[in-house]
Amino acid sequence: MMKLKLILPVLLFANQLYAQDSLTIRKIYDEALVNGKCYENLRYLCKEIGPRLSGSDNAGKSVIWSKKLMESYGFDKVYLQEVMVPHWVRGAKETAFIIDGKNRISVPIAALGMSVATPKEGLTANIIEVHSIKEVEELGEKVIKGKIVFFNRPFDERMVNTGEAYGASGDQRFMGPSIAAKYGAVGVIVRSLTGNLDDYPHTGATLFDKDGKNIPAAAISTKGADKLSAMLKMRKLPLVKFYFKQACQMLPDVVSYNVIGELTGIEHPDKFITVGGHLDSWDLAEGAHDDGTGVLQSAEVLRIFKAMSYRPKNSVRAVFFMNEENGNRGGKKYAELAAQNKEEHIAAIETDAGGFTPRGFSFEDVSNDLMKKLSARWKPLLEPYEIDRLIAGHSGTDIGPLKDKRPGVVLIGFRPDSQRYFDVHHSSNDVFENVNKRELELGAAGMATLVYLIDQHGL
Amino acid sequence: MMKLKLILPVLLFANQLYAQDSLTIRKIYDEALVNGKCYENLRYLCKEIGPRLSGSDNAGKSVIWSKKLMESYGFDKVYLQEVMVPHWVRGAKETAFIIDGKNRISVPIAALGMSVATPKEGLTANIIEVHSIKEVEELGEKVIKGKIVFFNRPFDERMVNTGEAYGASGDQRFMGPSIAAKYGAVGVIVRSLTGNLDDYPHTGATLFDKDGKNIPAAAISTKGADKLSAMLKMRKLPLVKFYFKQACQMLPDVVSYNVIGELTGIEHPDKFITVGGHLDSWDLAEGAHDDGTGVLQSAEVLRIFKAMSYRPKNSVRAVFFMNEENGNRGGKKYAELAAQNKEEHIAAIETDAGGFTPRGFSFEDVSNDLMKKLSARWKPLLEPYEIDRLIAGHSGTDIGPLKDKRPGVVLIGFRPDSQRYFDVHHSSNDVFENVNKRELELGAAGMATLVYLIDQHGL
């Protein structure tokens, strides 16, 4: 370990308490930036383990490795929380063609998670382009029946935060297939949820009612979507048809685990601050930004505290949730057990928006008064580290179930810069090489800072 | 052009003036993000023209192309400003070895700009590692004479803003060679100015007094520096020597140009707001982030205004400065002519910190009162676009000479996120592929927003 000297920015506050906080935060950053371990840990998770879809062998390996990692750091408690998870598998690589008379034009697709296979020989049908679920409902069974529905509403590039663009386009992938199925569609193709024009399909879960019909559904690359749309405009139906083949299937649920590390509070061991991300990932790449960065930043928060001999007043947990991507079973289990054990949860912070430069935090369903109070108290401390954007907003999927199960908990989302996230999200580009070491470490330091402030001063 | 619909965030201000500003800013962003041209322009500058060191053929080509580009946008005035620039050339690729007894270990180096060549057969000498200029002065001629001095103080990774780390390490490159020469050094090797551990030398200008001795000086990659340092620690002098060969030379000054586009003010045509970056670049790569992004964002500011039919009250100039990297002759010439023509300059904004996500602006040598006033007025308008970090600080090299020549001008630096800049800065990695389209466009929109606010409301 390098010997650390304190450097600027250390704020000199008249108030003694602020001065102490300011010094401690500087120590947190020094530890993260000089002795940081999350980048090398992320390399291991991405390169030595790789994709970790729930139920896969790799997901199992990642659980064992994560537990060992946290044990090696000497946290006070390290344990697994058993949870049954869905086991969806992609099967053989998908193929798809636009059929234009006698021409077959290949386009890149990837089955949506939880979708079903096409017939073995593939599926060919007329294809109709729509831009919203409402449009499907308006067209109705008369038009939709027997066709492949092609959802092609692009990201709204005018939105400054790309997460909002994802939210605004996402219903096509989440709900589009199940609703098209109700009107008799035989398959669904969805424009990939990215603002980029490229050749990579971006997968992700689609939702089917238990009682509803499940039809084959796949994401198409944005360039493929533009090509298909252009051909549909040029030629009249039924000259243009679409063919695709996918072999995905749903296997029986399997046992998996949340992985939890804890520093036990010295004043209130029975009160908890949770910081976490999800250990599972999609199968197309290494789940680097989604969400390898998140789990390893979470463990890093506790490692930083140990390294600087900070003993929290309250118990601080790093939770590596399992199955965020296609079921959120880990998140539900964690909340359920928290309720069962009557744990008092002060706050939960989720990092699942990529390992980019941190900019601040979003607070879910908190009062304006609390936002004002936190801003007045903490912004001066956060500003030197450029993480002072404290806003109202969504927190995270994994910690969401705590809201009902542990009322009173404050749910917080870590907010890194959003511009590059959907370049890689759920696609084959989500690899270690696209993570920047400093951006990752600054995120870990930012989260440790927030946890420290909550631990010291409450909310 | 796409038809634009206004979307959130449009702030609803009670104050009518704020409401109008809010709407206009939204239009600026819509134009930049939907119809933006700077990314494609940057591709052309990087890929079709390439490196543009002052005095080179490519620098000349880039001047002609830049003028045509701005003319094609129909700005009110487009013209060149003649300026004599230094013409330093690298010559054949450098070679360097650590000589350890009979072993020769190759390390990557690149001559520092304005440095001289070694003898044709190269230069071999004992090498001594130092960490500061002060150390050289303390060791004195007795120790330094006849040796190669190896400056090896690394970036301070604890600094959150990497620009500060650059500032804190930069004297080794700027002044190290000339000071070592005074004490009789025969050559200088400087650790590359980056926080990354990699194999790429990062060049950059070094400064020699006109009267002082100019000795060969080169940057070594950070991995090379670590290797050299480790060997110096293991072996005692004179077992370890260093060899390097470089063929750079200074040719006579040549004619070049600043390229200027202007929208003439409808109320105050004789008052100016300048926005600019530098057109010249180092020779090792494409000068993408340094500073292709800056000049093309500057032109984009004016293009956005034209596209949305915004006619500024004051004259707004986009200036593509020549020769920022090794002489700042373009910046000096611009200020000199501004004085000669008795132009009134309201503000000058420089973008020369990379085309990354914008975070705000730094104001050079302004009063606390002005900072407070601007923050109170503008932060609510800038906050929805996440460019509300308004701080005191350095503006830019090109616009710097205006301070003396046009007192009263407010100098402002565009502040993008700094984390990735020194990964590429002055190295062979500064290529188009490392620029993100949205980050670049958001920067152009942010600058247009600031220019708009200054134009409407003054400072």
CA distance A387 to chain B (A): 11
Please answer whether residues A345 and A406 qualify as being in contact, where contact means their C-beta atoms are separated by less than 8 angstroms.
yes
CA nearest to A185, candidates A92, A231, A123, A247? A123
Task: State the sign of the Cα–Cα–Cα–Cα dihedral B302, B405, B324, B174.
Answer: negative
Locate the chain A residue with the closest alpha carbon to B156: A34
The pLDDT score that the predictor gives to residue B3 is 42
The pLDDT score that the predictor gives to residue A15 is 64
- Give the residue from B160, B429, B442 with the most A CB atoms within 10 Å of its CB, the best one to mutate: B160
Q: Which of B161, B385, B423 sits opposite A160 (nearest CB)?
A: B385
The mean pLDDT value for B219-231 works out to 97
- Give the residue from B2, B5, B157 with the most A CB atoms within 10 Å of its CB, the best one to mutate: B157
The two tokens of residue A178 are: 């199940």
Residues linked to residue A277 through DSSP beta bridges, in sequence order: A320
Q: Which of B7, B158, B386 sits opposite A7 (nearest CB)?
A: B158
Who's near A342: CB < 8 A, 6+ residues apart? none
Locate the chain B residue with the closest alpha carbon to A382: B160
Task: State the sign of the Cα–Cα–Cα–Cα dihedral A233, A235, A238, A240.
Answer: negative
CA nearest to B354, candidates B274, B258, B422, B450? B422
- Give the residue from B4, B438, B442 with the most A CB atoms within 10 Å of its CB, the best one to mutate: B438
Distance separating alpha carbons of residues B363 and B350, to the nearest angstrom: 11
Q: In this predicted model, what pLDDT tens digit does every residue of B375-416 receive, in sequence order? A: 999 999 999 999 999 999 999 999 999 999 998 999 999 999
CATH topology (fold) of B91-247: Glucose Oxidase; domain 1 (3.50.30)
Residue B143 pLDDT exceeds 50: yes
Q: Where are the domains of chain A?
A: 16-86+253-457, 91-247
User: B366 in contact with A at a CB cutoff of 8 Å?
Assistant: no
A357 CB neighbours in chain B (<8 A) are 357, 417, 419
The pLDDT score that the predictor gives to residue A3 is 42
The pLDDT score that the predictor gives to residue B8 is 43
Q: Which of B4, B359, B419 sits opposite A439 (nearest CB)?
A: B419
End-to-end Cα distance, chain A: 34
The amino acid that residue B56 corresponds to is S
Distance separating alpha carbons of residues B295 and B271, to the nearest angstrom: 21
Task: State the sign of the Cα–Cα–Cα–Cα dihedral A420, A426, A428, A434.
Answer: positive
The amino acid that residue A406 corresponds to is R
Q: In this predicted model, what pLDDT tens digit does every residue of B314-340 receive, in sequence order? A: 999 999 999 999 999 999 999 999 999
Quick check: A159 and B7 CB within 8 A?
A: yes
Task: State the sign of the Cα–Cα–Cα–Cα dihedral B374, B375, B376, B382.
Answer: positive
CA nearest to B150, candidates B166, B165, B167, B131? B131
Binned at pLDDT 50, 70 and 90, residue B17 comes out as low
Q: Which of B9, B419, B436 sits opposite A436 (nearest CB)?
A: B419
Q: Which helix (H) or strand (E) holds B423?
A: helix B421-424
The pLDDT score that the predictor gives to residue B15 is 64
User: A195 in contact with B at a CB cutoff of 8 Å?
Assistant: yes
Distance separating alpha carbons of residues B265 and B274, to the nearest angstrom: 12
The residue ranges of chain A whose pLDDT is under 70 are 1-17, 236-238
CA distance A448 to chain B (A): 15
Second CATH level (architecture) for the domain A16-86+253-457:
3-Layer(aba) Sandwich (3.40)
End-to-end Cα distance, chain B: 34
Q: In this predicted model, what pLDDT tens digit does every residue of A45-64 receive, in sequence order? A: 999 999 999 999 999 999 99
Task: Give the A window 144-173 contacts with B, CB below 8 Å.
Answer: 156-162
User: B439 in contact with A at a CB cutoff of 8 Å?
Assistant: yes
Please answer whether residues B345 and B409 qualify as being in contact, where contact means their C-beta atoms are separated by less than 8 angstroms.
yes
User: A434 in contact with B at a CB cutoff of 8 Å?
Assistant: no
Distance separating alpha carbons of residues B221 and A28, to the nearest angstrom: 29
pTM of structure? 0.95
CA nearest to B156, candidates B194, B190, B188, B130? B194
User: A376 in contact with B at a CB cutoff of 8 Å?
Assistant: no
How many C-beta atoms lie closer than 10 Å to residue B199's C-beta?
A: 14
- Give the residue from B1, B158, B359 with the most A CB atoms within 10 Å of its CB, the best one to mutate: B158
CATH of domain B16-87+252-457: 3.40.630.10
Average pLDDT, chain B: 95
- C-alpha B263: how far from chain center: 25
Please answer whether residues A224 and A40 qualify as being in contact, where contact means their C-beta atoms are separated by less than 8 angstroms.
no
* Rg, C-alpha atoms of chain A: 23
Quick check: B439 and A420 CB within 8 A?
A: yes
Please answer whether residues B190 and B136 qualify as being in contact, where contact means their C-beta atoms are separated by less than 8 angstroms.
no
Cis peptide leading into B312, omega within 30 of 0? no
Task: State the sign of the Cα–Cα–Cα–Cα dihedral B420, B422, B424, B425.
Answer: positive
Distance separating alpha carbons of residues B362 and B354, to the nearest angstrom: 15
Please answer whether residues A268 and A132 qualify as being in contact, where contact means their C-beta atoms are separated by less than 8 angstroms.
no
CB pairs under 8 A between A and B: 64
The pLDDT score that the predictor gives to residue A2 is 41
Locate the chain B residue with the closest alpha carbon to A197: B437
Angle, in degrees to the nearest 10, between helices A368-382 and A437-457 = 120
Three-state DSSP at A188 gives strand
The CA distances from residue B137 to B149, B184, B373, in Å, are 12, 11, 46
Q: How is B66-118 classified by DSSP, letter by letter?
A: HHHHHHHTT-SEEEEEEEEEEEEE--SPPEEEEEETTEEEE--EEEPBT--PP
Distance separating alpha carbons of residues A385 and B93, to the nearest angstrom: 41
Locate the chain A residue with the closest alpha carbon to B442: A160
Q: In this predicted model, what pLDDT tens digit does every residue of B42-67 receive, in sequence order? A: 999 999 999 999 999 999 999 999 99
The pLDDT score that the predictor gives to residue A239 is 76
B33 CB neighbours in chain A (<8 A) are 157-158
Task: Give the A window 24-63 contacts with B, CB below 8 Å.
Answer: 29-30, 33-34
How many C-beta atoms lie closer than 10 Å to residue A417's C-beta?
A: 23
Please tell me chain A's helix, strand, coil percentages from 3-state DSSP, rounded to the nearest 5. 40, 25, 35
User: A359 in contact with B at a CB cutoff of 8 Å?
Assistant: yes
Residue B9 pLDDT exceeds 50: no
